[in-house]
Structure 1
Amino acid sequence: MRNTFHVRNTPAALQAHLSQPQSYVGLSPLVVAVRDVERGEDETRYVSVERFRFFGVKYDNLIKVTLRSTDETVEGEVASPGGVRLDYRFRLTGKDDGTEVEDTLVVHAWARPLLTYAARKAREVQLARAGVLTARLG
């Protein structure tokens, strides 16, 4: 899945924001917290808390995230205990007094119904993220 949008800020500002685990709280409407942040030389690992509601019952899904960044990209992998994996990449290109953000997601799951559900949720989050980043940094 791919979504491209424009933010009226520099690629460096977006790269700095997207490289911080805490920035993902609210960037995805599902993410309510991050914890256990471990910064390495080439990557950052942390646990992201996704909050779901099923039939009125709250469920916190603890997902493991690996985050890497360069001057032009921020990318990583997400692994959910339910068997859903997600690869993501933000390509940041200076354009028109701001940044063109190409947000790419690849979703993997062990069962077709789970993949369908996860892909639908991931697309909703991806589309919402454009508005959140624009509001935060644009």
Structure 2
Amino acid sequence: MLTEEFTRGVTVARPAEAVFDHLARPDSYVGLSPLVIAVRDVHLSADEVRYVAVERFRLGPLRWDNPIRVTMTFPRPGRRIVSQVRSPGRVRLEATVDLTTDSAGTHLHESVRVTFPRPLRALVVGQAAKAQNYRLAELARRMSAAEKP
């Protein structure tokens, strides 16, 4: 099994509480992550949220829906979210989001670590990096739109 890690960040003009609340809700990931088309089987407890997210992959006219199991925990409520993802094909992803307040609003710093079998490297790393870039841009767009009357 191979592992790759990468980190990116974005600053949004919204309070950390608003960003955290948005990211702590599984339904927010539909469209926030470019492949996620649905969320189901949500189970809430005091310190974690478990759910199944459905990713849709397309190749020309073909499509494949990939159910992934997600567990979100909140080690520093309001400031950190850790998502652990189990995907078919022995692919694992852990994303840690840290929120800090700064003069422009909230800085979101996301670290992603993916583990995968060697033959899936190009697909997994490419999709994870692409998804992270999209997710951060979409979050910035959503938070900007939420600000306007």
Please give the range of the TM-score, normalised by the shorter of the 2 chains: over 0.9
Structure 1 CA distance, aligned partners of 2:94 and 2:121? 14
Q: Over aligned residues, Cα RMSD in angstroms? A: 1.0
Q: Does structure 2 retain, via aligned residues, the 8 Å contact 1:84–1:115?
A: no
CA deviation vs aligned residue, 1:35-81 (integer Å, no higher than 9, x gap) = 00000121010000000013421100000000112221111100002
Are 1:64 and 2:89 counterparts?
no
TM-score (norm 2): 0.88
TM-score (norm 1): 0.95
Alignment of 1:1-138 (within 5 A): 1-69=6-74, 70-109=77-116, 111-138=117-144
Question: SS at 1:115's partner residue?
Answer: helix
Structure 2 unaligned runs (5+)? 1-5, 145-149
- Count of aligned pairs between the two proteins: 137
User: Amino acid of the residue matched to residue 8 of structure 1?
Assistant: A
- Among all aligned residue pairs of Structure 1 and Structure 2, give the percentage whose two residues are the same amino acid: 39
Structure 1 CA distance, aligned partners of 2:21 and 2:100? 14
